[in-house]
Every structure is written in C-alpha cells, then in structure tokens.
Structure 1
Amino acid sequence: MLNPNLHGLSAVKSPRFEEEKTQQPLAILADEAESVSIRLRLGLAMNDYKNIQKTPPLSLLLPTMADTTQKPHAIFIPYPLQGHVIPSVHLAIKLASKGFTITFINTHSIHHQTSEAEPGIGPDIFATVRESGLDIRYTTVSDGLPLGFDRSLNHDQFMAALLHVFSAHVEEVVSKIVKSGDRVHCLIADTFFVWPSKIAKKFGLLYISYWTEPALVFTLYYHLDLLRMNGHFGLQDCREDSIDYIPGVQAIEPRDLMSYLQETDVTSVCHQIIFNAFEDAKNADFVLCNTVQELEPVTISALRARVPFYAIGPIFPSGFTKSIVATSLWSESNCTQWLDKQPRASVLYVSFGSYAHVRKTDLTVIANGLLLSKVNFLWVLRPDIVSSDDADPLPFGFKEEVGDRSMIIPWCCQIAVLAHPAVGGFLTHCGWNSILESAWSGVPLLCYPLLTDQFTNRKLVVHDWKAGINLSNKNPITREEVSDNINRLMSGRSGDQCRSMVTEAKETLGNALTPNGSSEKNMDQFIKELRAKVQIKPIPSQ
C-alpha cells in the first residue's frame, strides 16, 4: 500500500504475516527455543491486530530516480527499545544526509507506542525529513508479541521473542526488499541482535554493526572470554579484585561492570543474547559507535587493532534541540513556563529513562531526599516507573509538601530541558543517551545506575571524566545521603568541579562534529571504505 503522503513514488508490499489472534500473551522462554522453532516452521504468528489500524501500512517506498547505482542503500534495523531507536533514527538521518538511501525497519509495537504518544505523526515517522530531500523509507514488522503485551514488565519474555522469533520476520522483509530490484548494499543492525551477519551473508550484503553505548562497554562484552578465564565472570564466587587485563581498559572494579556481568546466574535469556550477539559482531564488516574518540582514546585504539571500529558520536541531528522525527514512546509535557520562572542553574532535573524500573522503597527514599534537600527540581516520573499497576508511587502528601519548588511530569523532551539555563544538575540512571545529552548541554550529573551498562557508564562520568558524582555509595540508599549529594552537586565545591569538567566534555563533543572533527573524519572514512567495498563511486559534488 502506497503512503498517501508521498505522491509519485511506486511501492512494493512487504510481507504480510498471517498472524494468530490470541487472548493471552505467549510466554516465550529461553528453554522453549525448540517450540518456537516449530511455530516458525508452521508459520504461526504471535501478534494480534487489535489496534493494527494505528500502525503504518507495511509498505516500502521505492525510488523513481533513474540512477541509484551511486547511492549506497542500507537496510537499518534498530533494537526495539527507545534508548536504541533514538540514536538509530539520528544515524539514519545522518547517513541519508551524506547520500545514503535508508530503508528503516521498525517494530509494530514501537511504532504503535510512538503514535500513541504523538497521534499526529501518521503512518510514516520519516515523512517530514523526506520532504527535505532525504531518501529514507519506512516499514514495520512484528517483534513476535501482541501489541498490548507489556514488554517492560515482562522483560525476559520480550528478549526471548527477539532472540527466537524476530529474525524470521526481519529475514522475510529483507528478502522482499532485495528481490524488489532496488539494489541493497548493506545491513545496519544494532549490535545486540544475534543474527545480522547471517542475514547479511545470505543476501550478499555488508554487515554494519551499530553500537549505541560507549566503547568501554563494547570492549568488556567483546572480551567476555578473558573475564571468564580470569575468574571475574561466570562463577558462583567471582573474584572481587581490580580487573587490569582487558586491552585498552585501565583497572576497573567489578562493581563497575555491566549488571549482567555481575550476576552469578549466566543462563538467562539476556546472557544468551549477549554471548551470541558479540560472537555475531565479530563478523561485522564495520562497527559504528555512538561515542567520541577523545572521550575514550585508549579503549578505542585497542579496539581498532581487532575490529573495524569507528567512533562517530554523538549522533545528534543538526541544530539538536528536538528531533523532527517522532521517537518518544511517551507523551511529552511542556515545562518551559515553569522553568522560565526559576533562577539560573537552580533546578535539579530528575529522570530514570524510558525503560528501567525503580523499587518503590528506593523511590520513596529519593523523594524524601529531594524534600530534605530544599532544592528546586523537575522530576520526570513515568507512570510505570515502579510498575504498570502503580500509577502514583510517591509518598502520601509529597506533592503538597514540595509545592511550587517542584514540577512532576510523566515525560518531557529531555534535550530541551537540559538546554534550559535554569537547569543546573541532572539526577540520572546513567543511560548513555542521557549522559551524552547532559554533556552536550554542559549539565553535571548525579549518578544513580539501575541496570545493564549504566554502572559502567557511571564509571566513565564519575571516575574518568569527573563530570558527575555518585548519588549514593550505600545499599540501601538513605534520604540523608541523597539530600547531601544533591546539595554537593547543586551548590557545593564538588558541583563546581563537575561543572568545569562537563564543560570540557561539552567542548569535546562539539569539536568532534565539526568538519575537521574526529567523528566527522571517522564517518567520512567509513563511507569511503564502504563505497570501495561495494564498488560505488562517490557522487560528484554539485
């Protein structure tokens, strides 16, 4: 079905999956791989059409240009979590602005949530940027679960679907695109997928692995064998001394490893994904990383001795304050008027990201710490931050007690908030996007990691760059420590030092994106090498 907003372009239908309607979500557990395989062979589907009219038509927009041979054509598949989709959308735009044709494959679920958050976007999130001349096409596929399935609350089942089911849907779409007659040169896919190199090889495509986190996290996962061999991973009783044998990594403490590497049970579906994904990444023709060479020079240098690794971050759109492509899974509240009334650098911005959950007991301690600190704050409190079943997890009477010195909202445009002069600090879960956005805005960080890479990201912020401080060094956290560290960041000497260092990081990020900056040079070198591999001549400058 042709997108009605794009007249004059031909279209080819992408595969229509015969999907089985179901009243109950299908629990796909790691040990059910054989069952899942049988379902796939039988062609059974795992998505309902309850709200399918709100998802985009499964169409691929094909070019009408006579000469497409000089434009690299990439199929782009982001990992279906907001923290991965955002930098993937930004990279798609960046590559299209450098002459690529991009076919972007989103999941029904991500598109549906985005449409719910911003109803006016229509069936194609890239329609606006395409009007500016960028060649980005868009389609969606099922991730293997019903639209109404709570992926955040049922994380392991969601990951199992991505591990065992999603690739079959993707492969069918890729096959249709490749066979449509429009030449495709490469597959760009998130590093956390376990199958991209196999699909790329099957269809004769180059595989570009896109890593949306820092190089430090990549290299720790990449060298899991060394961690296991030295007793720092995969044992019931792991070593607790410093890790000083990973190439390109100065001594790192076990507590600063990603949460999955701190666990003693390494048989979970998430561990299966990590093990297999990084084996698959070793087959990549290129690895693109959303980091900056000057922020992680030693780690990146060591990686480049083993992997065709390109630091091309930060992947922000031009004039970055708000992306013109809808990527938020939550409706954004406007907090500009409240911020405009606050003194310069007086507001602590608080947000724990789009996916992670916080225990109610910890949330209560943080709330009481904010109350005790007397600092003005803007708190993004997702409706499901504790649980989908607990829409108001704050202590009784908290909102009344903090009064006008606070604003509590379900979601916002984070980069716009961080860019506001009233914001002087950021209490964050240490998601990588949040760290880059905060550094880009020159806002120091108060670090409270919750899961996955966030503990390692905190190490970069606090120990390596000295652009932030820990919220707490205790477990459990206390309201007194929360209050003390809030005031240290917002008005103490430690905060001044962090502010100075984050200003340096801001300059580093900005310089990397200048025409002679490291990230721009790395991007241009990547494109040059890709063109050489697929034998595409550069388009002559006009």
Structure 2
Amino acid sequence: MQERAKQQEEAMASQQNQRALHAIVLPHPLQGHITPLLHLSQKLASSYNVAITFVVTQHIFSKMQITSHPLIKLVGLADNLPQDHPRQSTFADSYEAVMGLEIPTDSLLQELSSQNQLPSFIIADTFVTWAQKLALKYSIPRVAFATTNVTAFAVMSSTSKLIDLGILPLKTVNGSSKYVDQLITCFPFLPPLQPHDIPVSLRSPSVSHYRMQFVMAQFAELSKAVTVMVNSVTELEKTVLENLEHKVPTFCIGPTLRLGGENFLLQKTGMRTSLLPEQEDCLPWLDKQGSGSVLYVSFGSIANLEKAQLVELASGLGASNQPFLWVIRPGSFEGSLSDVLPVGFSERTRNRGYIVSWCPQLLVLSHRALGGFMTHCGWNSILENLCLGGVPMICWPHEAEQALNARVIVDIWKVGLKVKKEEDGIVKLEEVERVVRAVMCEEGAKELKDKAIELGKVAKRAVEEGGSSLKNIEKVLEVVSNTKASGFSSRAVLRTRYTTCSQESNDFC
C-alpha cells in the first residue's frame, strides 16, 4: 500500500510540474518555419498544459489571422529594420529580420524575469542562432527545433566534416557556375550525391560566405541545447537517426500538422497559419472534377520562376491534357499574369485548368479530386501531402534543402519523379508533359500512389495514441522538467539518459 501511495504521489507531482511548464517559442520569420511550430505549440498547450509565448516579428504578427488556444500568447516584436524592408522576399531578408529580433527578445525575457515569470524552457528554431546565448544568460534550457527532415539535418550538421574532406567548397568548372561532377559518398544513409543535390547553403563559393558560416553557427549553438526536436517521423528515417554524428539527443515529433487531430489539421478550428490571403473558390471547382484527376501545382511561399520557365511550364501543362490547379503567387513573376502566360493558354485550358494566387493547401491536398502534386519539395509540403491525400509527387526543387528532399522522395521512398533540366536550367514543355503523364495516367502511376498512401499511414500512426512521435514529445518534456528541477547545469548528464530514436523495425529506410 505504501509503495502504491508513493507512486501516486510521484505521479501527481509529475503532473503538477508538467502543468507548471511555460515555453517561449522562437520561429524563424518565414511561413515554412512558423507553421510547424504553431502546430507543435497547439499540441503542447492542449494536451500537456504547457503555456506558450510565441514570438514573431511585428511584420509577421500583423499578417497572422489565428484564433489561438487560451494558453498560447502571440507576441509581435520589432525587428529593428526599416519599415520598407522586404523581410520575406529572400533568405537574406529573413536572416536580417531574425537577427534583428535578438535585442527585443532579450528585453522581453528581462521583463518576464522582473515579474518572476521566466519561461521554463525555450523552443528555438535552429535558424535562431542567438537563442542559445539568451538561454545561458537566463539559465533556461533550450530545445532546438529543426523544420527539415532528419536527412537534411544530418547533412547540414556535417558541414565541417565536408570541409575537412575537401568536398566543400564545391569545385566549379573553370570558375563558372557549373559544378565539377563528383560523387559525394560519405553519408551511409543516402545514395551517392552530386553537388547539386546538397543544400543550397553548402554550395556557397567559399567557407567564409555568410550562408555557410550561418550553417556552421547553427550547429555550433545547437550542440549546447538539451535536446533537439525534428519535424519528422522516426519510422521513416530510422537509419538516418542511427547514423547521426552529433551528440545531442534528437527526437522525431512529427508530422506536427497532425498533432492537433483531424479538425485542427483541416483548419476547422479557426486557427489558420497562412500569411497570404487564400482563394477558397478553387474548392467548388475541385468538387466538380473526377476523383484522382487533378494535378496540383505549387512551389511554396518563396520560389520564383522566370518568364521563360513559366511559358514552358504552362505549355507543358496544356500539352498533358490533364486537369490542373496551379498556384501562381503574387510577386513570383514580373509583369501581369496575362503577359507571362502563352497567348491563348487561358482559353485553351478553360475547362480543365484553374489558376489561383494562393489557396488553402491542406484542404486541397485532402480533396478526393487530387491525383498528383508538382512541388518545390519543401519539407512542410511533403509532409502535408503524405498525411492527407498521399498522391505521387513531381519534384521541382528550388532552394534550401529541397534538392536533397527530392532525392529522398524519388530514390529512397520511391513516391515521385524529378523533372530534368536542360543545360540552361530550364525545364522544357516536353519534360513537363512527360512527368505529368507519368504520375497521373501512365503505367507506374498506381505503384507511386500506393507507396505514398503506405508512407502516409506510417506518418499518421506516429501521432496516434502510443505512437513514436507522441512518446518522443513526452521524453522531451521529461528532459525539460528534470533539467528545470535539477538545475540548468545538469543538462549534460540528462543527455546520456535518452537514445536518439526508436528501435522499432522500419521498412522504409
């Protein structure tokens, strides 16, 4: 009886400690970084009673239209940039914005400290490199959050190793922009890579370039975190997790978009994370299309296409004779839309094509009419597709780690095809027509579809009761609670208590 009473007492103490947790969340100020951290914050608040202070720039705050959980407080801080600064148009712009947030965030923590309301821990995007400095200043444990998959995380964390091996900086042909062909074979969890497969930041012309320096700074600071959360699924990347070389415990807690359940996932709760106005008139149009007949074309919130490429893409979509829903984002091209599309394109595709400036992507990807997804291979979009419709993907990477994601989709998971570019970097209309037909209606399309659905089931199970991702969230909270109770300096001891991944079997790695 005494033993049972002791166990109950310990359980109550644990619950009280968990309820007392308060996290300050620091995302990088870009759509693809804010969204997964909002999803995670919603889960922490609703299922674990963790109070959240979610910090964004005032510029982002003014664009957010969300009804948050009562335990989630959104805070907009000045980024100390001129009012007319573009902020989100390029990586460099967003980098300047996030660096400008350091001093205001420090001031916020000072204010919370004076009120005896310092957060229990910090959840900081790996891109927020100054978060670790503030964590140490205020003796708050920091949990790092990676918005990529584990594969890209592993490659990026190996930057110093790639430099030591003489692979970086990449060698070019006679000083041109073309890379010398060389197979990169130092990653046991990947097929041999070509230079154009590695993340864009690692393709910098010199080690001193700000992009490569930024990557190295990320992982130098990350090594001091108490733990790392990655928006991925243990069962999908088990082999990569087992080959991680850094020593910080790393837990897959994704896909974050499914953490809040079906209603939250499909935006029925009032919480919308898009920073751009969405055109919902595409949904009634989708309702009128045949099941599995529509190709969804979207390159995310950052990528731009030159006019020549837009013409080739439009011509290829027209030649494919497949219905399509195409997102052409404002500001992603020069001039008016009528000026960049081929003459007569709208008239020729009127009955089977629909163009929008932005759309509710989760609702589109879950629609029964969808049959394929032409994507820039942003990790959020990949997860959204797997967790919803689970349709084959046409990989058209642009920036960041997207080319590496495409290799995972095509060569490891085998749920898509990659477009082939000409020497000038253009994807011709014939190639567009070929890949569209291949994933939508030709032999092999069903196999791609079946595999995508199978992977989606694995991802969904991870966030169901007893799933690996929910178990991992609880492990992270246990690490934070123990660190809080034992003192911040004990984080090194705590690291040794946890393994980096589940030992469950996995058929996909």
Aligned pair in 2 of structure 1 residues 235, 256: CA closer, same or farther (>3 Å)? Answer: closer
For the aligned residues, what is the CA RMSD? 2.1
CA distance in 2, matches of 1:391, 1:172: 45
1:10 matched residue in structure 2: none
8 Å contact kept, 2:160–2:216 = no
Partner of 2:40: 91
Alignment counterpart, residue 76 of structure 2, candidates 140, 153, 158: 140
Q: Does 1:298 align with 2:239?
A: yes
Name the CA distance, whole Å, in 2 between partners of 1:69 and 1:310.
19
Instruction: Give the Å deviation of 1:275.
Output: 2.0
- The one-letter amino acid paired with 1:504 is E
User: Given the alignment of the two structures, is residue 494 of structure 1 paired with residue 444 of structure 2, yes or no?
Assistant: yes
Call closer, same or farther: CA 1:297–1:75 in 2, change over 3 Å.
same
Cα distance change on mapping 1:290 and 1:397 into 2, 3 Å = same
Q: Deviations over 1:59-110 (max 9, x none)?
A: xxxxxxxx88842111111110001111010011111121211111111111
Match of 2:24 in 1: 75
Q: Which residue of 2 aligns with 1:478?
A: 428
Shift in alpha-carbon separation, 1:436–1:298, aligned structure 2, 3 A: same
Q: 2:223, 2:247 within 8 Å by CA — same for their partners in 1?
A: no
| Equivalent position of 2:413 in the other structure | 465
Higher-RCO chain (CA-CA 8 Å, sequence separation at least 6) = 2
Residue equivalent to 1:373: 320
In the other structure, the counterpart of 2:290 is 343
TM-score of the superposed pair, with normalisation by structure 2: 0.85
Give the whole-Å Cα distance in 2 for the aligned partners of 1:157 and 1:85. 16
Per the TM alignment, residue 143 of structure 1 is displaced from its structure 2 partner at its CA by 2.1
Q: Whole-Å Cα distance in 1 between the matches of residues 166 and 333 of structure 2?
A: 34
Q: Which residue of 1 is the match for residue 279 of structure 2?
A: 333
SS in 2 for 1:404: coil
For residues 395-425 of structure 1, the C-alpha deviation after alignment (integer angstroms, 9 at most, x for no partner) is: 3332122112111011111010011110100
> Residue 187 of structure 1 contacts residue 206 of structure 1 at CA under 8 Å; is this kept in 2?
yes
Q: Is the 8 A contact 1:248 1:301 kept in 2?
A: no
Unaligned segments of structure 2, at least 5 residues: 1-15, 173-178, 487-509
Contact 1:160 1:269 in 2 (8 A): no
Cα distance in structure 1, aligned partners of 2:44 and 2:405: 26
- Are 1:258 and 1:455, in contact at CA under 8 Å, matched by a contact in 2? yes
| 100 and 302 in structure 1: CA distance in 2 versus 1, 3 angstrom threshold | same
Give the 3 Å change call, closer, same or farther, for CA 161–479 of structure 1 in structure 2: same
2:51 aligned partner = 101
Whether contact under 8 Å (1:144, 1:162) holds in the other structure is: no
Letter in 2 for 1:143: D
User: Any conservation in 2 of the 1:223–1:246 contact (CA below 8 Å)?
Assistant: no
TM-superposed CA distance for 1:153, in Å, is 3.6
Seen in structure 2, the aligned counterparts of structure 1 residues 417 and 331 have a Cα distance that, compared at 3 Å, is same
Quote the residue 1:407 is aligned against.
Answer: 354
Q: Does the aligned pair in 2 maintain the 1:429–1:447 contact within 8 Å?
A: yes
Instruction: Give the secondary-structure state (helix, strand or coil) at the position aligned to 1:198.
Output: helix
Q: What is the alpha-carbon distance in structure 1 between the residues aligned to residue 18 and residue 466 of structure 2?
A: 28
Q: Supply the distance in 2 between the matched residues of 1:235 and 1:251 (Cα, whole angstroms).
A: 15
Which residue of 1 is the match for residue 398 of structure 2?
450
Compared with structure 1, are the counterparts of its residues 517 and 239 closer, same or farther at alpha carbon in structure 2 (3 Å cutoff)? farther
1:383–1:391 Cα contact (<8 Å) kept? no
The residue identity in structure 1 corresponding to 2:244 is L
Identity %: 32
Aligned equivalent of 1:321 = 266
- What is the one-letter code of the residue matched to 2:60? I
1:198 corresponds to which of 96, 114, 133: 133
One of 313, 332, 335 as aligned partner of 1:385: 332
1:113 aligns with 2:60: no
Q: Is the 8 A contact 2:63 2:275 kept in 1?
A: yes
Q: Which residue identity is paired with 2:57?
A: T
1:531 aligns with 2:472: no
Comparing 261-270 and 279-288, the one that deviates more: 261-270
Q: For residues 473-510 of structure 1, what are the alpha-carbon distances to aligned partners after superposition, in whole Å with 9 as ceiling and x for unaligned?
A: 54321100110110001001232221011011111111
Q: C-alpha displacement at 1:218, in angstroms? A: 0.8
State whether residues 124 and 145 of structure 2, in contact with CA within 8 Å, keep that contact through their aligned partners in structure 1. Answer: yes
Give, in whole Å, the separation in 1 of the partners of 2:246 and 2:90. Answer: 39
User: Contact 1:86–1:327 at 8 Å: present in 2 too?
Assistant: yes
* Distance in 2 of aligned mates of 1:422 and 1:101: 39
User: Is the contact made by 2:61 and 2:75 (CA closer than 8 Å) also made in structure 1?
Assistant: no
Of 124, 131, 150 in structure 2, the residue corresponding to residue 189 of structure 1 is 124
Give the Cα separation in 2 of the matches to 1:126 and 1:180: 26
* Count of residues in correspondence between the two structures: 454
Give the match's secondary structure for 1:368. Answer: helix
- Cα distance 1:330–1:309, how it changes in 2: closer, same or farther (>3 A)? same
Task: State how far apart, in whole Å, the 2-side matches of 1:350 and 1:408 are.
Answer: 9
Shift of 1:247: 6.2
Q: Relative to structure 1, is the Cα distance of residues 192 and 183 closer, same or farther in structure 2, using a 3 angstrom cutoff?
A: closer
Would you say the 8 A contact 1:471–1:486 is kept in 2?
no
| TM norm structure 1 | 0.80
Superimposed CA distance per residue, residues 313-338 of structure 1 (whole angstroms, 9 cap, x where no aligned partner): 00023112126323211111111211
**What one-letter code is carried by the residue in structure 2 that aligns with 1:284?**
A
CA distances 1:173-194 after superposition (whole Å, capped 9, x unpaired): 1221232212421111100111
2:370 aligned with 1:435, yes or no?
Answer: no
Q: 1:515 aligns with which of 439, 448, 465?
A: 465
User: For the Cα contact (< 8 Å) 2:151–2:240, is it kept in 1?
Assistant: yes
Where does structure 1 lack aligned partners over 5 or more consecutive residues? 1-66, 115-120, 537-542
**Alignment partners' CA distance in 2, 1:308 and 1:427:** 35
Question: Is 2:226 the partner of 1:285?
Answer: yes
